[in-house]
Amino acid sequence: MEKGNVSAQPSPIVMKATSKLSSRGQVVIPAEIRKT
């Protein structure tokens, strides 16, 4: 899982995205990380 990358790079954008994606599902979270 690339969840470790999110913790390593604490950014307001990532936090906001995670919050938004959290509502939709954890399937979109990894997709966003790869896009970054």
Give the integer Cα–Cα distance in Å for 9 and 22: 18
Rounded CA-CA distance 33/14 in Å is: 8
Total structural domains in the chain? 1
Q: How far apart are CA 5 and CA 24, in angstroms?
A: 20
Q: What range does the domain containing 13 cover? A: 3-35
The one-digit pLDDT tens for each residue of the chain (36 residues) are 455 554 555 567 666 766 665 555 555 556 666 665
CB 1 within 8 A of CB 30: yes
Task: Give pTM, 2 decimals.
Answer: 0.24
